[in-house]
Amino acid sequence: MKIVADGNIPFVRECFSSVGDVEVMGGREMTPEAVADADALLVRSITRVDERLLSGSAVKFVATATIGFDHVDLDYLDARHIGFASAPGSNATSAAEYVIAALLEIGRRHGIRLDGRSIGVVGVGNVGGRVAAKCEALGMHVRRNDPPLQRRTGDPKYVPIEAVFDCDLITMHTPLTREGTDKTHHLADERFFSSLKQGAVFVNASRGAVVDSQALKAAIAARRLKAVALDVWENEPNIDADLLDAVDLGSPHIAGYSLDGKIAGLIMIYQALCEHFGLPAKFDVGDFLPAPDVATIELPDDVGDEQEAIASAVEKVYTIVRDDRNLRSIAGEPSEARGQFFDALRKGYPVRREFHNTTVVVPEPGGALVRKLLGIGFKVKGRRREDDV
């Protein structure tokens, strides 16, 4: 069996070599010629999988090591009886932790206390649901907007989009859909931004085209927004350098790039391929995850500011300002080379682990600080062994 795989999927050769011959290449290098004789194709979000790519090929199975699949023409695969798998939920914790890191960093820069603030979570699936839970753990008042979930469940906790407009913070977690009742393409448009509360904080870690970049730039220029964090951009990898210059935090579509999430996605599509072709699966997640670099964080006896203590703990595990600084280096590249620079940041992304790999040692085993740390994903224990939480 020949397997063509995106080289940005970690350990893809080591894992899939147990079931076939693996050819690794860049996601943007996957041309019809490159995949023509492959039996299976393993991609990430930058590869568009459709008739143009697969027509006349030998491909019998496609998998994307991502939670979203708007880059895959499922109708075409179904019509050609080509098997398909994705990795729902695999990097959801990673993306949710990215949002928490962004909110804490923005809180630092702008003197915003998160406890007691309102936040609108637009899209409450695998990622948005985790974001909502973590924000509630930090003491925030969460309003959830997800029309499909509201229709499916009838649960009144899902509110109309208008109900989030007066929130202090807004974070986007929808898939990208370009038509239909729940179209999300340019969901955050001029009307959206003009409806927001003056001085709101805006975060997008879903898909770039969920936001109308021109409308967002206009809202920033008009000082309607206090702060903006973007992990995703329209027209990636050729992103709007002026928009990057205008936002508080920018990163190269890496919110879901924790090693834990990548390995979970790897194993999900590996097991799906094995099942599709009737092969035994040799590996599991534990075969590829190393011990964390930051296993323990000790907080001082006098914690003082709880939000700053949490921000400091998060920063030791994931330094979001480093991603921002690295992406801003794109301004020094010739305009024609910026797309390659953006892709290189993603391909060479350093190892990042999720919060659950780290234990925070606190002076006291109970209280709000412990609840918040546990709620955003850390393990926690008291200073003395008998005080374990």
What's the pLDDT band for 387 if we cut at 50, 70, 90?
low
Catalytic choice (130, 143, 144, 253): 253
Q: What is the mean pLDDT of residues 354-380?
A: 95
What's the pLDDT band for 253 if we cut at 50, 70, 90?
very high
CA dihedral 363, 364, 370, 371 (to 10 degrees): -170
φ, ψ of residue 45 in degrees (nearest 5): -70, -15
Question: Who's near 85: CB < 8 A, 6+ residues apart?
Answer: 61, 62, 63, 64, 268, 269, 272, 273, 276
Distance CA 193, CA 367 (A): 38
pLDDT in tens, 282-300: 999 999 999 999 999 999 9
Vertex 181: Cα angle to 176 and 183 (nearest 5): 20
Distance CA 278, CA 230 (A): 42
Contact by Cβ (8 Å): 53, 33: no
Catalytic choice (234, 236, 306, 354): 236
Q: What is the mean pLDDT of residues 210-223?
A: 98
Catalytic choice (130, 143, 173, 207): 207
Active site residue 29: no
What's the pLDDT band for 344 if we cut at 50, 70, 90?
very high
Active site residue 207: yes
Query: For helices 92-110 and 320-328, what crossing angle results, to 10°?
Result: 80
Active site residue 236: yes
pLDDT in tens, 75-97: 999 999 999 999 999 999 999 99
pLDDT in tens, 227-252: 999 999 999 999 999 999 999 999 99
What's the pLDDT band for 338 if we cut at 50, 70, 90?
very high
